[in-house]
Chain A
Amino acid sequence: MEYFLQQLINGIALGSIYGLIAIGYTMVYGIIGMINFAHGEVFMIGSFVSLSVFLALGALGITFLPLVLIVMLIVAMACTSLWGWTVERVAYRPLRGSFRLAPLITAIGMSIFLQNFVQVTQGARIKPLPPQIEGGLTLMEGPGGITVQLSYMQIIIIATTIVLMAGFSYLINKTSLGRQQRACEQDRKMAALLGVNVDRTISLTFVLGASLAAVAGIMYLLYYGVIDFYIGFIAGVKAFTAAVLGGIGSLPGAMLGGLAIGLIETFWSGYFSVEYKDVAAFSILAIVLIFLPSGLLGRPEVEKV
């Protein structure tokens, strides 16, 4: 029971990170109907930027943790947003209206490029960061010394995710940017005719997705304490799985899917085998796509000629 609860908590924390990345996939898919393969790399870039910021602040002598975290958050979000914007501008915008595989191929090209760019500039070795936020709440103490712990880091992850999700839902549902975004999602041509700046809206979608990925990147860095240039690939595929599972194009779906994938992965490694946890996540992807292509909360896709 204690073990189960502990895995549940771990799974929710991991799922929050996946959910934040998945939102980027699902929004981009909703608006331009393509899988942004480079999104996992954007997450990885967020992680690296925040690591550099952390080390730079440490070198300057600033060690007050809340301040450090806020500066990390702001700088990483800004830098990663710029990356997201640039990737869209360079690799996807010129291809709008091109044949179907073209943006997908540039996305893969971008993903390869970003991975290797970071590898070449920052080195291929893993970067360990000692845990910065230690300790936690002991929720339950079972027989045999098994305790259920909710670490402060997990609290931060879950709280940040909830706050961001609330803010993000407000942005999408209530503000004019959100309305434009939803309009473009429904019909880009019509939105353009009605005076929505489609290119700008699409760029902003990438920027929003990238900044959420940056937050996920920071939390990944602080939670696991180990990053390398390859983390974006696996996390990206899993977040995409989450987006598909939740119903691609649906924002609550992405969060739900993220939680589901996080839980499946933790329980799988907790009860079956750690080696095959990626296989579990990837198999879910295939199974969902085959049997439930519109996901949990998605709308069925209408095929147009």
Chain B
Amino acid sequence: MTHQDAPTASNRPEGAALLSEQRRDAMGGEPPFVPEPTGDSRLVASIKDAVITAAIVAGITLFFLAVRSDIDAGGLVLTLRPGLWMTWVAIALVVRFFLSYFFYRSAAPISGWLKTVVMPTKRGVPIGKTVGIILLAMALTLPWLLSTFLPGQNRYLLDLAILILTYVMLGWGLNIVVGLAGLLDLGYVAFYAVGAYSFALLATNFGLGFWVCLPMAGLFAALWGIMLGFPVLRLRGDYLAIVTLAFGEIIRIVLLNWYDFTGGPNGILGIPKPTLFGIEFSRGEGGFADYFGLEYSTVHRFVFLYYIILALALLTNFVTLRLRKLPVGRAWEALREDEIACRSLGINTVNVKLTAFATGAMFGGFAGAFFATRQGFISPESFTFIESAIILAIVVLGGLGSQLGVVIASVVMIGGIELLRNLTVLQQVFGDNFDPTQYRMLIFGLAMVAIMVWKPRGLISSRTPTVIYKERKKIGADAVSQGEGH
């Protein structure tokens, strides 16, 4: 039996072979072949899976969960914790059994089920835009919302919002480098540090204010981006990753050891606070509250800082969105998809990469300057690799290249875990010393792996392409892997 309109090798999508086979069978009158295992074998196989998984978990965690070495008066001693170990092995056993029995070995595989749940296949509804506008409206009115509905925790929550927005801004800055240009930068924190230190040094040595230093901090960071980027951007993606990591560490070590210039591990103290057109947020004569005839409150400064970082973050977002429509932005995305094709088309890949690197670095520098002015104190402690990893995790979890994803990932991962800290329920369950922030990086690491394995383009994985040819199509996470030059 032959088909006139059989798909050819070039236009056949994945899974088409199976479909056409099923169609052929159906035309021949055969019932479609569904390999449904019998109940018994499914149960036995699932139990076997579960036992194997539990054995592996038992093996790998034996020396970490069951025993713990602690420093005692006479040296190191071992503490036995068999209960904890067995609990986790049992959890692995049960979870794997359920997964195997109900998903992996059942007739309806898990992947299909997940797709219907997670990725509603509605076409053409720009849900991102609506959510974005709602989030923007919330962000703009947040200080008012907080003071109206949660006046008791106003200051704490505002501070948390500032922290989240700092990460949003850093995420957006890194998104230009990683998400758009496809350059894995593991040393992004270096530019954050350059921004923070240039502001701190300019402000403390020359008495310049925040608003003068802010653009300079961004420029310095961009300059560093170009200086570091120029020699290394010719390298392949994974080499680039490790060289940027090395640069991040080098900058931190230099900051730590150059006492005369940076103050070494003591850092820099007394960084001035930002002013509103010269009006300081201080108590008394000439302060913000006095000038506007308001009652003095420490919250004013937080509100002001909140709006500064909101404006900076929105600037980052706006610039990114505009750049994506310019030739350079399109070159970034083309570069991410296929570098060789780009070079063949006459794009100067080094320059294109450099612009992405420098732009990302500049926003990192802005964020660094803001960080310095918010804290009033900086030291190399704040610029470790962990910080780079957090920012990268946010970008990855949000979906490489997705602006909204970065926001959601920052809110969930930074804000969510910070809020968990205040839940007394958790302390009652896990004991008084339970601190969820301790597990933050653990969760970050696991989530990065899970997201990459399960949805490689992040939670917000279907992006509308920047350039539209003839018709609008959504790029699903599954299609992306095929488009990648590998």
Partner-B contacts on A (CB < 8 A): 34-35, 48-49, 51-53, 55-56, 59, 79, 82-83, 86, 90-91, 94-95, 97-106, 108-118, 120-123, 125, 127-130, 233, 237, 240-241, 244, 275-276, 278-279, 282-283, 285-286, 289-290, 293, 301, 303, 305
Task: Give chain B residues whose Cβ lies under 8 Å from the Cβ of A237.
Answer: 242, 245-246, 249
Are B237 and A112 in contact (CB-based, < 8 A)? no
Are A289 and B237 in contact (CB-based, < 8 A)? no
Are A99 and B441 in contact (CB-based, < 8 A)? no
Interface check B396, CB cutoff 8 A = yes
A299 vs B5: C-alpha distance when bound (angstroms): 47
Q: From B486, which residue of chain A is reached at the shortest CB distance?
A: A100
A51 vs B417: C-alpha distance when bound (angstroms): 32
Are A82 and B67 in contact (CB-based, < 8 A)? no
A293 vs B238: C-alpha distance when bound (angstroms): 13
Quote the shortest CB–CB distance from A250 to chain B (angstroms).
16
Q: From A114, which residue of chain B is reached at the shortest CB distance?
A: B445
Known: A112-B445, A237-B245, A293-B235. A55 touches B78 (CB 8 A): yes
Q: From A53, which residue of chain B is reached at the shortest CB distance?
A: B63
Known: A86-B56, A106-B448, A125-B71. A79 touches B62 (CB 8 A): yes
- Mark contacts of B434-449 with chain A using CB atoms, 8 A cut-off: 1 yes-contact digit, 0 otherwise: 0000110110111111
Interface check B16, CB cutoff 8 A = no
Known: A35-B238, A99-B484. A109 touches B63 (CB 8 A): no
Task: Report the 9 A-B pairs with minimum CB-CB distance, sorted nearest first.
Answer: A109-B448, A113-B445, A112-B445, A99-B484, A282-B246, A116-B442, A109-B449, A121-B64, A116-B441
Are A86 and B60 in contact (CB-based, < 8 A)? yes
Candidates A56, A118, A285, A303; contact of B340 at CB < 8 Å = A303
- Dominant SS at the B interface? helix
Are A56 and B232 in contact (CB-based, < 8 A)? no
Are B232 and A289 in contact (CB-based, < 8 A)? yes
Task: Give chain A residues whose Cβ lies under 8 Å from the Cβ of B59.
Answer: 79, 82
29 A-B residue pairs with Cβ-Cβ distance under 8 Å, sorted by A, are A83-B60, A91-B452, A95-B453, A101-B237, A104-B238, A106-B448, A108-B448, A109-B447, A109-B449, A109-B452, A110-B449, A113-B445, A123-B68, A127-B71, A233-B385, A237-B242, A237-B246, A278-B250, A279-B253, A282-B246, A282-B247, A282-B250, A285-B246, A289-B235, A289-B239, A289-B243, A290-B231, A290-B234, A305-B485
Candidates B76, B439, B456; contact of A99 at CB < 8 Å = B456
Q: Of residues 255 to 280 in B, which have CB atoms within 8 Å of A's CB atoms?
A: 256-257
Candidates B61, B67, B70; contact of A56 at CB < 8 Å = B67
Q: From A89, which residue of chain B is reached at the shortest CB distance?
A: B56
Are A91 and B250 in contact (CB-based, < 8 A)? no
Known: A108-B186, A305-B340. A90 touches B449 (CB 8 A): yes
Q: Of residues 176 to 234 in B, which have CB atoms within 8 Å of A's CB atoms?
A: 178, 182, 184, 186, 231-232, 234
Interface check B481, CB cutoff 8 A = yes
Quote the shortest CB–CB distance from A225 to chain B (angstroms).
11
Interface check B131, CB cutoff 8 A = no
Candidates A105, A116, A301; contact of B396 at CB < 8 Å = A105
A244 vs B60: C-alpha distance when bound (angstroms): 30
Q: From A124, which residue of chain B is reached at the shortest CB distance?
A: B438
Task: Give chain B residues whose Cβ lies under 8 Å from the Cβ of A282.
Answer: 246-247, 249-250
Task: Give chain A residues whose Cβ lies under 8 Å from the Cβ of B340.
Answer: 303, 305
Quote the shortest CB–CB distance from B347 to chain A (angstroms).
16
